[in-house]
Amino acid sequence: MQDLFVGKPYGEEAKFAARAVSMAAKLCREIRGEMVTQSLEKSDRSPVTVADFASQAVVARLLMDTYPQDPLIAEEASQTLRAAEGAKTLEAVTAYVARIHEGAESEEVCRWIDHGDGKTADRFWTLDPIDGTKGFLRGDQYVTALALLEADQVVVGALGCPNLNHQIEPEIGGEGVVVVAIRGQGCWALSMEGKSLGKLSVSTITDPGQARVLRSFESGHTDSGKLEQIIERLATAHPPVLMDSQAKYALMAAGKGDLLFRLLSPAQPGYVEKIWDQAAGLIVVEEAGGKVTDLRGTSLDFTCGRGLTENIGVLASNRRLHDDALEIVRSIGADRRLKAD
């Protein structure tokens, strides 16, 4: 990795991001392996809670050491850990964080987590410590996603993907991979140890009938009815690829998928995407040659704080299929906000 980014603008930030998400993703994998048993109920979120907080603490501490002036906007806050009922969870989080930051104490860990309560600035980072909560619990796909924004634009993004292999294909418990991108310079795959696995490029498919649609494993995350209409109108010969998390963006960057639709769910008509859910995935796809907009074809707007309040859903593609996909989205009315019941 030293040679890969040497001398590049934002090269040091890219090395940092790749290292941070690799460390956090590997720690999440350890936590899941040690805390999840066959008797775990699906409603028991304790392992993912511990992993979320531990992952955020690890990355935040690294950021504080490396770029102390840069704010961080992240998903978690330590308030629940500081409460009496959170004491056991905090103890577990601290023990896992101490595997990386030796001697870590509970108060320090809470302070590192709360470093993620930053505000947008001319330059700031955004983190999703575990993107794909249900995938994590099922032992399927999840990622740690970190991105750097400067002048309202994503300039570096990294995805730590513990359940993708070096060919950027799903492999549960496999080697794991990091996908990292720098604005204007490209997108690369790295091993979890930082070895370059090559530059990534989206597919060259132009025929909607050959499109491979990447969709969320959880039907509640989308409008299943409208998504089925889109797939029917594409007349694609391929069944949708079901996958949690921004790992879908890694597959698209590697040419293993062509279209991704984030439709508004009827159950959450007012839902607004969070910046940490999209920033790293966006630059990974764009720097591999793809395109990311909202469902109206508008660029994602990262100027509104923690949420993409000016956007409706997300459409990502290999660029060649983007206009066709937007036309289908418009034709079924999926480009408009839903009315609450």
Q: What are phi and psi of 332, to 5 degrees?
A: -105, 5
Q: Which residue intervals of the chain are DSSP H helices?
A: 2-5, 11-35, 46-66, 79-82, 87-97, 106-114, 133-138, 224-234, 247-253, 275-287, 322-331
Is 190 part of a structural domain of the chain?
A: yes
Residue 129 has what pLDDT? 97
Q: Is residue 336 part of a domain?
A: no
Q: How many structural domains does the chain have? A: 2
Do residues 95 and 194 share a domain?
yes
Q: Is 324 a catalytic residue?
A: no
Closest residue by Cα to residue 168 from 194, 190, 138: 190
Q: Same domain for 315 and 221?
A: yes
CA angle, residues 142, 147, 149, in degrees to nearest 5? 155
pLDDT at 37: 56
Q: Is residue 156 part of a domain?
A: yes
Say how far apart CA 162 and CA 216 lie, in whole Å: 18
User: What CATH number did the domain enclosing 181 receive?
Assistant: 3.30.540.10
Domain boundary at 199, 226, 261, which? 199
Whether 337 is in a domain gets the answer no
Q: Are residues 138 and 96 in the same domain?
A: yes
Name the region of 139 (left: φ>0; alpha: ψ -120 to 50; beta: rest): left
Answer yes or no: are the C-beta atoms of 62 and 20 closer than 8 Å.
yes
32 inside domain: yes
Partners of residue 289 on adjacent β-strands: none
Contact 261, 315 (CB under 8 A): yes
Phi first, then psi: give them for residue 267, nearest 5 degrees: -75, -20
In this structure, are 177 and 268 located in the same domain? Answer: no
Only one residue has tokens 């993409």, namely 308
Contact 328, 302 (CB under 8 A): no
Identify whether 49 is a catalytic site residue: no
Give bridge partners of residue 182 from the DSSP assignment.
156, 186
317 and 226 share one domain? yes
- CATH value at residue 314: 3.40.190.80
Give 39: exposed, middle or buried? Use CB within 10 Å, 0-12, 13-18, 19+.
exposed
Per-residue pLDDT of the chain (341 residues; tens, 9 = 90+): 657 888 889 999 999 999 999 999 999 999 999 987 544 443 456 778 899 999 999 999 999 999 999 999 999 999 999 999 889 999 999 999 999 999 999 999 999 999 999 999 999 999 999 999 889 988 999 999 999 999 999 999 999 999 999 999 999 998 999 999 999 999 999 999 999 999 999 999 999 999 999 998 776 668 889 999 999 999 999 999 999 999 999 999 999 999 999 998 888 888 899 999 999 999 999 999 999 999 999 999 999 999 999 999 999 999 999 999 999 999 999 888 766 54
Query: Do both 286 and 137 map to the same domain?
Result: no
Domain assignment of residue 220, given as a range:
208-331
Q: Are residues 150 and 185 in the same domain?
A: yes
Active-site pick, 66, 89, 120, 133: 133
Query: Is 37 a domain residue?
Result: yes
> Same domain, yes or no, for 9 and 126?
yes
Note whether 187 and 51 are same-domain residues.
yes
Do residue 192 and residue 216 come from a single domain? no
pLDDT of residue 321: 98
Domain stops at, among 181, 199, 217: 199
**Are 132 and 238 contained in the same domain?**
no
Q: Domain boundary residue among 164, 199, 234?
A: 199
Q: Note whether 224 and 265 are within 8 A (CB).
A: no
In a domain, 341, yes or no: no
- Cα of first residue to Cα of last residue in the chain, in angstroms, is 52
Query: Are 56 and 77 contained in the same domain?
Result: yes
Measured CA to CA in angstroms, residue 12 lies from 25, 276, 326 at distances of 20, 21, 36
Residue 338 belongs to a domain: no
Among residues 52, 140, 258, 294, which one is catalytic? 52
